[in-house]
Structure 1
Amino acid sequence: MSGSTLTKDKPTPAPRTGSANPFVAMTQNLRESGIYIAFVVVVLLFAILTDGLSLSPTNITNIVLQYSYVLVLAIGMLIVIVAGHIDLSVGSVVALTGAVSAQLVIGNGQPWYVGALAALAVGIVIGVWQGFWVAFVGIPAFIVTLAGMLLFRGLTLFTLGNVSLSPFPEQYGKVATGFLNGLIGGNGYDAFTLLIAALAVVAFAVQQVRTRVAKVRYQQVVDAMPLFVLKIVAVAAVVMAFAWQLAHSRGLPIVLIILAVLILAYSTIMKSSVFGRQVYAIGGNLAAAQLSGVNVRRVNFWIFVNMGFLAAVAGVIFSSRSNGAQPSAGNGFELDAIAAAFIGGAAVTGGVGKIQGAMIGGLLVGVISNGMQLLGVDQSLQSVIKGLVLLLAVAFDVFNKRRAGVR
């Protein structure tokens, strides 16, 4: 009876908030929140320098349309980098998949969806090809994808006959330039966009509460309640302000819906699936992952298949926005995707990085580029500034690891 009484009266442990080591907690907060703070600062800086033009409804819509393909590539590149690899071929894959789609739709008169599906199929085949050499033959991804960059660029030139093809039919163009704006309010704004944004905020809040409850149940570290509420309110405010601007322009971009679905899907995969945990394990400690029974070859293979698929999605989006296919399409896209992943918090050595961080990193690069264009900054100086931003982001990662004692 005594044992039963003790069990019954045992108090429920209070949720653990923060970290026992203040420096570790500060380092974690800087690593996870620093990119968000930097993004807000950059947005406000360009808003001041451009007298609010950078935050106008039209400009915000243009940023979404112009940099959506980079964000799609950044999702796949983040997963590749977390596993300790790199992919230098994605720009050429974007060009080749767009060229295949153009040849079928423009050159042979096939329906627009046939071209899009063919592009996705080609991207998957490319991923299988590169995944085979990396995972089963054992050639480093840097070499395989460097060869792929040259190989797929050559195939692009062959597919197009070294000439551009345009234009695509209107339906194909809507993939990257279409809008959903069926509920226009009396004051000239799109109520549908605001409704979708509000539903997204509610879903985010519910997901955060469920995650917190689960962590408390298993006695894991959680944020203090005021900070937890503040985060949800801050995200809600940003999302609704963003939606308000879109609603006063042309409505909800179709490409933003595609991007949102990809972000939600891959965030869930990387956070909650066995595959996602295995990717982090391989990048964090390859030997330990092998000893724990992770099939490293299989995981690496599917990482590159997935990268090929996402590069094809980006190829469809880019060719849709360009309204055609060009032999030079995709030049430098791999650098933009890599920059987005590293600026968003991915570690150079692998094992660290989040989809959300890569998205903010890509948006940060996009906002900087867009802001400098609005200010009339010379193109050469824009490249210099973006290069410095990437260098500082990686230096910050290295600095945090050294201060935390990670070798």
Structure 2
Amino acid sequence: MDKIKGILKKYTMVLVLILVFILFSIGTGGKMLLPANVNNLIAQNAYVFVLATGMLLCILTGGNIDLSVGSVVCFVGAIGGTLMVNQKVPVLLAIVVMLVVGLVIGAWQGYWIAFKRIPPFIVTLAGMFVFRGLSNVILNGLTIAPMPNSYLNLFNTYVPDIFGGNGFNITCMLVGILTCIIYAVLQIKSRNDRAKKGYQMEPVGNMIGKTVVICIAILAFSFKLSQHKGIPTVLIWVVVTILIYSYITSKTTTGRYFYAVGGNEKATKLSGINTNMVYFKAYLNMAFLASVAGMITIARLNSANPTAGTNYEMDAIGSCFIGGASAYGGIGTVPGVIIGATLMGVINLGMNIMGVDANYQKVVKGLVLLAAVIFDVSTKKKEA
């Protein structure tokens, strides 16, 4: 019984995601499972995956958040749109400029938070107003469109099928199969490495079961995408971001510093770790990923407009807490955040298909977020 409780606790949000997906599939009469809607799940929520990954680093440092990311997305998009459309600046140069702008913003906010110890809430709240205002100044309250085709090809198209499948993208399906093989091999390798080092390991049955479930999900997802247009280019950007930050948080000393600061900052500082730099890197990364999300957003909208990025910060924060990040810091993983972001995306898409009023959608998302935090807090009290 304890073993079952442990498994349920560990995979609570995965089970919730599966349940919610099934309920919406039934509620929409199967429309949720249409290949086009599976593709929309990625296209409409790509920015959430990117922003939530960066937001996790901020939350790990002690439950801190960044309220400015939506405005930074708009500001970076406004600069990129102005450069490419109005100034006819080459696409690659415009992308570099957008990334640099994001890093400068991150360094600015990170300086006040890390070295002057102004509360992140205040600094990023100020940033939310400042960069939203600057976005309107740059755009002069107008929408800039359309984006160059060479830019859209990087973010808003599909990977061509090299096998020339007729109505079914063979390349996409083969990528899904290859992904499953690589994942299974990595799981076996990781288990063997832990065995050689004498670390405690989960039962073989659990590992096999988890691997099978994940591979089935990957294959089903690949099959649906193959029936539509194949692999969206934005999915590549999302996957690369997830893989890089998963590696940083789980396999590097820099990544472990975020957890250490969130767990006990004083002890971390006494152990010789520069905690100021940990905070600085968290907000530098957040603004950098916000600039990436800005590039994705203007490509999806095919325009830069003054309202872009509105409430994006709430989606990112909600995804983190729903995905298991602790409101107190020190706990959370990138895979967990991705599950949270996917759950948010499924809820949004399902309610849109069902024609639920936008105001009620906000109510549902708010209640889901509150439930996730209540679960986290109640779990901590039981463990204490």
Of 18, 41, 54, the residue aligned with 1:63 is 41
Query: CA–CA distance in 1 between the matches of 2:113 and 2:10?
Result: 31
**Greater Cα shift, 237-246 or 111-120:** 111-120
Superposed displacement of residue 187, structure 1: 5.3
Aligned ranges 1:225-244 → 2 under 5 Å: 225-244=204-223
Query: CA–CA distance in 2 between the matches of 1:311 and 1:91?
Result: 8
**Greater Cα shift, 183-192 or 151-160:** 183-192
Of 31, 34, 38, the residue aligned with 2:12 is 34
Correspondence 1:391 to 2:370: yes
Superposed displacement of residue 175, structure 1: 3.1
Residue aligning to 1:81 = 59
Residue aligning to 2:135 = 156
Superposed displacement of residue 216, structure 1: 2.2
Answer yes or no: is the 8 Å Cα contact 1:27–1:404 preserved in 2: no
Of 19, 26, 34, the residue aligned with 1:48 is 26
Answer yes or no: is the 8 Å Cα contact 2:258–2:330 preserved in 1: yes
Answer yes or no: is the 8 Å Cα contact 1:65–1:176 preserved in 2: no
User: What is the TM-score with the length of structure 2 in the denominator?
Assistant: 0.97
Residue aligning to 1:316 = 295
Of 47, 50, 56, the residue aligned with 1:72 is 50
The code of the aligned residue for 1:124 comes to L
Of 363, 368, 373, the residue aligned with 2:347 is 368
Query: CA–CA distance in 2 between the matches of 1:300 and 1:363?
Result: 27
Query: CA–CA distance in 2 between the matches of 1:203 and 1:139?
Result: 45
Query: CA–CA distance in 2 between the matches of 1:386 and 1:317?
Result: 23
In structure 2, stretches of 5+ residues that fail to align are none
Query: CA–CA distance in 2 between the matches of 1:113 and 1:186?
Result: 32
Residue aligning to 2:259 = 280
Query: CA–CA distance in 1 between the matches of 2:165 and 2:151?
Result: 31
Correspondence 1:166 to 2:145: yes
Superposed displacement of residue 309, structure 1: 0.5
Query: CA–CA distance in 2 between the matches of 1:42 and 1:120?
Result: 36
For residues 117-145 of structure 1, give each alpha carbon's deviation from its aligned partner in whole angstroms, at most 9, with x where no partner exists: 21111101000001100111111111110
**Greater Cα shift, 44-53 or 72-81:** 44-53
User: What is the TM-score with the length of structure 1 in the denominator?
Assistant: 0.91
In structure 1, stretches of 5+ residues that fail to align are 1-21
For residues 286-305 of structure 1, give each alpha carbon's deviation from its aligned partner in whole angstroms, at most 9, with x where no partner exists: 11111111110111111111
For residues 246-303 of structure 1, give each alpha carbon's deviation from its aligned partner in whole angstroms, at most 9, with x where no partner exists: 0110110101011111111110110010111111000111111111111101111111
Answer yes or no: is the 8 Å Cα contact 2:161–2:172 preserved in 1: no
Correspondence 1:306 to 2:285: yes
For residues 222-246 of structure 1, give each alpha carbon's deviation from its aligned partner in whole angstroms, at most 9, with x where no partner exists: 2211111111111111001100000
Residue aligning to 1:8 = none
Distance 1:170 1:185, change over 3 A: closer
Answer yes or no: is the 8 Å Cα contact 2:225–2:231 preserved in 1: yes
Answer yes or no: is the 8 Å Cα contact 2:75–2:131 preserved in 1: yes
Residue aligning to 2:357 = 378
Distance 1:123 1:27, change over 3 A: farther
The code of the aligned residue for 2:367 comes to L
For residues 137-163 of structure 1, give each alpha carbon's deviation from its aligned partner in whole angstroms, at most 9, with x where no partner exists: 111111110111111111111111121
The code of the aligned residue for 2:74 comes to A
The code of the aligned residue for 1:324 comes to S
For residues 26-72 of structure 1, give each alpha carbon's deviation from its aligned partner in whole angstroms, at most 9, with x where no partner exists: 66544431111111111111111112110111100011101001110
Superposed displacement of residue 219, structure 1: 2.9
Give the match's secondary structure for 1:321. Answer: helix
**Greater Cα shift, 174-183 or 384-393:** 174-183
Of 81, 87, 104, the residue aligned with 1:102 is 81
Query: CA–CA distance in 2 between the matches of 1:106 and 1:383?
Result: 34
Superposed displacement of residue 114, structure 1: 2.1
Superposed displacement of residue 204, structure 1: 1.3
Superposed displacement of residue 186, structure 1: 4.8
Query: CA–CA distance in 2 between the matches of 1:337 and 1:163?
Result: 26
The code of the aligned residue for 1:71 comes to F
Distance 1:197 1:396, change over 3 A: same
Query: CA–CA distance in 1 between the matches of 2:59 and 2:263?
Result: 11
Query: CA–CA distance in 1 between the matches of 2:303 and 2:186?
Result: 40
Asked which structure has the greater CA Rg, the reply is 1
Superposed displacement of residue 73, structure 1: 0.2
**Greater Cα shift, 215-224 or 108-117:** 215-224
Percent sequence identity over matched residues?
A: 41
The code of the aligned residue for 1:73 comes to L
Q: CA RMSD for the aligned pairs?
A: 1.4
Aligned ranges 1:340-355 → 2 under 5 Å: 340-355=319-334
The code of the aligned residue for 1:54 comes to M
**Count of residues paired in the alignment:** 383
Residue aligning to 1:18 = none
The code of the aligned residue for 1:370 comes to L
Answer yes or no: is the 8 Å Cα contact 1:83–1:279 preserved in 2: yes
Residue aligning to 1:181 = 160
The code of the aligned residue for 2:216 comes to A
Answer yes or no: is the 8 Å Cα contact 1:82–1:352 preserved in 2: yes
Query: CA–CA distance in 1 between the matches of 2:326 and 2:8?
Result: 14
Residue aligning to 1:122 = 101
